[in-house]
Structure formats: structure tokens, C-alpha cells
Structure 1
Amino acid sequence: MRIKEVADLVGISVRTLHHYDEIGLLHPSDTTEAGYRIYSDKELDRLQQILFFRELGFPLKKIKEIIDSPSFNQNEALELHRKMLIEKRDRLTRMIRTVEKTIQHHKGEIVMSKKEQFEGFDFSQNPYEQEARERWGNEAVDKSKDKMGRMSKQQLTDFQEEFNDIYRKLAEVRHESAHSNIAQERIELWYNALNKIGDYSLEAFQGLGQMYVEDERFTRNIDKFGEGLSVFMRDAMRIYAERNK
């Protein structure tokens, strides 16, 4: 298939395919005398893998490393994609239900509990796992996933509520100084909770706090518990890490 045919089939731009070629992520199998890039079934399979990883939030540089690794197994990757996409679908379904109930709540048709208000917001695991792997390596993330995988469904639900409860407690004191005793006591709850599922060093803990502000996805979700909470947590996490080194 020519590049324009591939672009039309997949729903991406020709410019994107040119960029993938330039960075060594996806080369055409051949080029005609007229200069047209040609893609075979092998390249289309690779493109499908690339787009699955992109849908799950992996950066292009990391996708190239993964796919080009000698240990990469396409079938294993597809199973992982399937599992992660199902989890994403289920979480979005829960959030849609929460939105619908919130609309009814605002209309006065129902009364929502605090727990119902935040159903679908899952902070029990890092939804941006790739960033964590890039910054701190695989070990801490793998330990976290292993611990989560050993939990029952009820344990996971309880743990998610514990995380949300800590967010709410932090939101209550977000207008206090990040140096204050109450701020440091509550950010310690967060540090201890994270280390129930992972192995976060003080350095990693401080770096995670910085991500809460640098990555708008984190900021948007965290600040739903209270305007400015992400900045407050970043500052409190930095101070906690410095004091306990």
C-alpha cells in the first residue's frame, strides 16, 4: 500500500507517517522510482502496535525501544493491550455513570454521597505508568503492579477509597503552609499509602509530586478534590522528602 492509502485506512495523516519514518519508528518496506513510500503487511502490523501503545499514552521514543527490543513478543503485547483497554473502558464507564448521577444531583433529582461523587476516579494505581517507568525505572512500578495484582476486588475497592479519603484530607488543609505540622502529617499518610503498593524512595516521592504540577492530566484530576491541591501536594511532598532524607 502507498503511504496515502495507509493514512486513509488508519485515519492518521501522511505527515505523521513521514515523522515515524524520520525517527526510525516505522520505515516503509520500499520506495518506488517515483518516490512513493510502500508499506507491506509487516509494516501495517507494526503500525497497529504503535497505535495501541499510543492509545495507552506511551511516548514515541519508548514505543520504539519496546518494539525494537529482542525480547518483544507481539502476542504478549496484544494481550497486554487488551487487558489495559478493558480496564480503561470500565473506568470510563464508571465515570460516565458518575457524570450522569452528578447531573441528576444538580437538578435536585437525587442526592449523591461523597463516595458516589468520586466513583471512577482511580488513584489506587498510576494511570500514567510509562512516565513512572521512565523516571524511576521498572522495579518500583513492577512491585506496585505485583502487589495490586495480589489484591482481591474488595481490597482494591477499599484501597481506592483510602486513597480518595487522603486526597480529601489533604484538600481540607491545602490553604495551610506546606511546612505546617498538619500538612506534613497528612502528606505522610500519602507517602505511607503509596508504599503499601510500591517501593517509593523519598526521591521518587518528591519527583512524583513535581509531576502533579508538570503534567496537566495529574493536575486536572487531583484538583477535582480542591482547587490548587496539586501545587500544595507538590510542595508538601518536597518538604517531606527533604526533612526525612
Structure 2
Amino acid sequence: MLFCIAVSLAYNAVMFRNAHPEPFRLAMMSAVVLPTILAGPLFVYLLLKLRDLRILNRELQIIAAHDGLTTLLNRRAFTERAEARLEAMATGDVPGALFLIDADFFKSINDRYGHATGDRALKAIALRLKECLRPGDIIGRLGGEEFGVLLPGVDRSAAMIVAERFCDSVASIRLTSLEGKLVPLSVSVGGVLFDAQDSFHALYQAADDRLYKAKASGRNRFVLANAVLRETVAERAEI
């Protein structure tokens, strides 16, 4: 607006430089008043549009970071946030645990009850897992029927309690198919405990190894390991 007023003043000063004082004064006044009247509403309009663009951009960022079905973080966003949290935790030697969680026999659920029921199962599992967590914990859907959870500041005992809670909470879901048949749900959990600086990739690989063992030994159970020794420290018996 100030730029427009300056241009208008310069233009009128040149155009009315030979005019009498009164017309010149009126011309200079109009050079200030007219741009102000015109630019005011335009300025407000542009501010509103910029606000709308900021809101839209924020909404797009949220959509881009979250899984459309479960509303959890998607794989990319989960990895980025987990890496950032691990880096922050490393400066204070904060312990924690990383879990990989896989829905048991999910392909059979899709084949037997249909993909619509499979989607409902994933949403129900995601909700139960989220209900087991604290506000500062990080959870995401890593793809298909696999989920990831980062628990900052937990020791072995607390991690075991959470893993047990994952299994019990999902197993208690009463999901029925479109035909009214009960759909049994359970999860296998692989976890890795850490108390020093470890890369997300290394922790992910260790947790994935434990998840494989949990599924190979019967499913509906959890297996935890130490990030350094890679030795099993807890294993839940099959329910």
C-alpha cells in the first residue's frame, strides 16, 4: 500500500506540477486517499487468502504424514519422528523400546471375510494399540498389517507390561464380519530395548528379528531383546 501511495504521489506531482496551489493540494490528497481506500480491502482480502493457504498447507501436511485408513502416522512420518526422538534421547542416555507389531493371520482374514472386514480389523487394532500408549509415545502403520511403536523412557519391566497389554487388548476385540461371524484377532510383537545411542535402522532390524521369532513360535505373543547383546530377555507364552 505504501508503494502504491508513493507511486501515486510521484505521478500526481509530475502531472500537476504547473497547476495552481489548490488543485495541486487536492491532487496530492487524492494520491494518498484513493490508494488507501482501494488498497485497504485488497490488503484484508489478501490476508484472508494467506490464512486460508496456511490452513490448507497444514491440512495437507497432516494428510501426507498419516495413514488414510487408521489415521496413524505413515511409515515415512513414523521413521522421521522416531529418528528425531532417538537423537534427542541419545544426549541424555534415555532408555526406551522399539516395537514392531504384526496382525496375525491377516491374509486369512481378508480371504475368508473380505477386505472390508480386513480394513475394519486394522482400524480396530490401531485404536487398541493407541489406547495402550502414553501421550508422548510414537505409533505408526508401517504398511499392510504391520505397526511400529517407540516408547521413550521405559525400562524392561515397563516395556514388558506394554507388550503384554498390546496382546491382551487386541485379543479382546469383538469384531464381527459382514455376515455376523466373529473374527478372531491377535498380534505378534517383536521389541528391542535400548539404553544408549542406537540408530533407528539397527533397532528396527533387532525388533524385526524378534517379531519373526514371535510369529515362528506360535503368534499371539511378544519377544523382547536387548539392543546390544541381542539376547532374548522376555517371551510371552502362547495364549
Given the two structures, how large is their TM-score scaled by the length of structure 1?
Answer: 0.29
Q: Would you tell me which structure has more helix in proportion to its own residues? A: 1
Higher relative contact order (CA 8 A, sep 6+): 2
Q: Would you tell me which structure has more strand in proportion to its own residues? A: 2
